[in-house]
């Protein structure tokens, strides 16, 4: 197992010492646990049982302890400073866990104060303890970049071309070319992941329809060639080339489900119009 914090690689401690120059961790807590619940239960008055309020998952607390080694005291001092500088105070950075060929991450920042102990003033080795907080308790696929996202599509609008035309003479071909305009979702993980629908113009009133339920979601907007409308289903943001257009939303928000299918819809047909769906798996 290996870790990465703010671009600094931290390696799992080997079974034998000395560790060798680099960053080594000896314990990691708060990563495999599910985040706590904010739900409360209030005892009934003069009755068995109690009232429950809404429960939500709290933020995730992560604790790390380990060692840092170097070839010399000046190199150790530089290594300690690099590690401390990798812990953000205000912004969020990926804390990545590489385990059994799988990369997952949380977006974190500093919680409390990190502690560093120079174990021996004459040896280039020090121990450290770092506390992190992840406002979003989910563990997301990938290392925090595009490697954690999967793309379905792009697909054009539905259309059927070819087939029989009248008048015709026998024997007549009955071939037709059909574009379903659908994407089928294959989702994993144990928590609601991130899903972004992207519509690329030219297209009028682009949208999706859930195959099976018929639930529609569309946007009262015309996209010209080169324009992209990005719809984040988790945050419910709607951006046209980075500018909010949330007020254009019509219909009902759709929910991605595993093996579900969505159909690209619009008020006009343009062969250049495209829809794609990007997903990122998440775990509790």
pLDDT in tens, 20-50: 678 889 999 999 999 999 999 999 999 999 9
Give CA–CA dist 221/246, Å, rounded. Answer: 11
| Nearest partner of 159 among 262, 269, 266, judged by Cα | 269
> What integer pLDDT is reported at residue 6 of this predicted model?
87
Tens digits of residue pLDDT in 240-258: 998 999 999 999 999 898 8
> What integer pLDDT is reported at residue 163 of this predicted model?
38
In the predicted model, what is the mean pLDDT of the chain? Answer: 88
Asked if the model's pLDDT at residue 172 lies above 90, the reply is no
Per-residue pLDDT band at 17 (split at 50, 70, 90): very low
| Nearest partner of 226 among 197, 248, 242, 202, judged by Cα | 202
> What integer pLDDT is reported at residue 13 of this predicted model?
57
Give CA–CA dist 219/227, Å, rounded. Answer: 14
Over residues 194-212, mean pLDDT: 95
Q: At 52, which helix (H) or strand (E)?
A: strand 50-52
Exposure on the CB side of residue 19, measured as CA atoms within 13 A: 20
| Residues 255, 256, 258: CA angle, nearest 5 degrees | 140
**Residue 23 near residue 9, CB atoms below 8 Å:** yes
Asked if the model's pLDDT at residue 215 lies above 60, the reply is yes
CA torsion angle for 141, 157, 236, 253 (degrees, to 10)?
A: -110
Tens digits of residue pLDDT in 58-78: 999 999 999 998 888 888 999
Give CA–CA dist 78/80, Å, rounded. Answer: 6
> What integer pLDDT is reported at residue 176 of this predicted model?
42
Asked if the model's pLDDT at residue 174 lies above 50, the reply is no
What pTM was estimated for this model as a whole? 0.82
> What integer pLDDT is reported at residue 173 of this predicted model?
47
- In angstroms, the Cα distances linking 4 to 59, 83, 95, 250 are 20, 11, 6, 42
* Widest pairwise Cα distance in the chain: 97
Give CA–CA dist 245/46, Å, rounded. Answer: 53
Give CA–CA dist 105/282, Å, rounded. Answer: 9
Asked if the model's pLDDT at residue 159 lies above 90, the reply is no
> What integer pLDDT is reported at residue 178 of this predicted model?
54
Give CA–CA dist 193/217, Å, rounded. Answer: 19
> What integer pLDDT is reported at residue 130 of this predicted model?
96
**Residue 198 near residue 155, CB atoms below 8 Å:** no
Give CA–CA dist 181/222, Å, rounded. Answer: 19
Q: At 271, which helix (H) or strand (E)?
A: none
> What integer pLDDT is reported at residue 16 of this predicted model?
46
> Based on the number of CB atoms within 10 Å of its own CB, is 101 exposed (0-12), middle (13-18) or buried (19 or more)?
exposed
Tens digits of residue pLDDT in 228-241: 999 999 999 999 99
């Amino acid at each position: 197992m290996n870790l990465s914090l703010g671009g600094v690689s931290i390696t799992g401690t080997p079974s034998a010492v000395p560790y060798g120059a680099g960053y080594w961790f000896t314990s990691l807590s708060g990563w495999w646990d599910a985040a706590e619940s904010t739900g409360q239960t209030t005892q009934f008055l003069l009755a068995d049982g109690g009232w429950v309020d809404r429960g939500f998952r709290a933020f995730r607390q992560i604790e790390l302890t380990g060692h840092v080694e170097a070839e010399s005291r000046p190199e150790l001092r530089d290594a300690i400073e690099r590690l401390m500088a990798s812990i953000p105070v205000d912004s969020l950075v990926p804390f990545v866990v590489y385990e059994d060929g799988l990369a997952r991450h949380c977006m974190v920042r500093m919680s409390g104060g990190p502690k560093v102990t120079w174990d021996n003033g004459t040896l280039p080795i020090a121990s450290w303890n770092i506390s992190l907080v992840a406002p979003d308790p989910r563990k997301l696929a990938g290392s925090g970049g595009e490697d954690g996202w999967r793309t379905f599509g792009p697909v054009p609008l539905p259309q059927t071309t070819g087939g029989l035309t009248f008048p015709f003479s026998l024997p007549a071909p009955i071939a037709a070319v059909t574009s379903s305009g659908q994407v089928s979702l294959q989702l994993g993980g144990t928590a609601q992941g991130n899903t972004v629908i992207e519509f690329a113009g030219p297209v009028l009133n682009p949208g999706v329809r859930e195959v099976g339920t018929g639930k529609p979601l569309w946007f009262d907007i015309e996209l010209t060639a080169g324009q992209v409308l990005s719809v984040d289903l988790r945050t419910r943001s709607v951006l046209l080339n980075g500018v909010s257009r949330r007020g254009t939303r019509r219909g009902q928000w759709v929910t991605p489900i595993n093996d579900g299918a969505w159909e690209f819809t619009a008020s006009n047909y343009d062969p250049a119009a495209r829809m794609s769906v990007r997903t990122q798996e998440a775990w509790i």
